[in-house]
Each structure stands twice: as C-alpha cells, then as structure tokens.
Amino acid sequence: MANLFERLDRRPPPTEEAVKRPRSGSPPIEMLLDWLVNDWPKPTIAARDIYTYGPNSIRDRNTVLSLARILVERRWLVPIETHQHNMRKWKIARGGTTTLPHPPRPDFTPNNT
C-alpha cells in the first residue's frame, strides 16, 4: 500500500479542455487566437480590450498590433472603421484560415493552348 505522500503525488488525468488549450509556452499568435475564440464573449474587439483583458504576455501595444495584423491576413479578424483615427477595432471572424495563402509565382505563366 502506498504511503500518504505517494497518493498525494498522483495527479488526476487532464481534463478535455486542458488538453485542447495551448500551454503558456505556446507562440503568442496562438495564445491570442485561443483567447479571442474561446474567452472573448463579444463579436468585436478593440486593441484597448486586448491590452486590458488579453493574455498577460502580449499586453504590449506593438505586440498586439503586429499579432492583429497577422490575424487580419489569416482572416481571423476583419478591420472595422472607427470614429477616432488612433483607435483600432476588429470583427472576430470565428473560422479563419490557419495558414496564409501562397502568392502566385512570378515566373509562372499558364498556357492557354
């Protein structure tokens, strides 16, 4: 029979949600996307909301804007016109692409014969 410390050392199996969610060591883009899709309740988000409520490791203006630019390119965020020139706001498109589309090759010309 195991002693008390051996029994306390056993960890319960991870829950299904814990298995699906990225770890804290995952890339910042994945952390932001996971937070937007799973934790943010509204259909739109402003940069200020990400600074205030987003994952702690990306609460920096330059980081947020660069990550948002990537998510716009991948069609996870859609820019919204705002009433202030210095405000950034996006609509969350839940179901964007995970990879960027490949640009056309400049040396490729299709044959129309």
| 10 within a domain of the structure (yes/no) | no
The per-residue pLDDT for range 9-62, each reduced to its tens digit, is 777 666 665 555 555 567 889 999 999 999 999 999 999 999 999 998 888 899
Name the pLDDT band for 8 (thresholds 50, 70, 90). Answer: confident
pLDDT at 4 over 90: no
The per-residue pLDDT for range 57-105, each reduced to its tens digit, is 888 899 999 999 999 999 999 999 999 988 999 999 876 555 544 455 5
* Domain span including residue 86: 26-92
- State how far the Cα of 27 lies from the Cα of 42, in Å rounded to an integer: 24
DSSP H helical ranges for the chain:
4-9, 16-20, 28-38, 47-53, 61-73
Total domains, the chain = 1
| 109 within a domain of the structure (yes/no) | no
- State how far the Cα of 24 lies from the Cα of 109, in Å rounded to an integer: 45
| 49 within a domain of the structure (yes/no) | yes
Whole-number pLDDT of residue 77: 94
- State how far the Cα of 96 lies from the Cα of 71, in Å rounded to an integer: 9
| 2 within a domain of the structure (yes/no) | no
In CATH, what number is assigned to the domain containing residue 61? Answer: 1.10.10
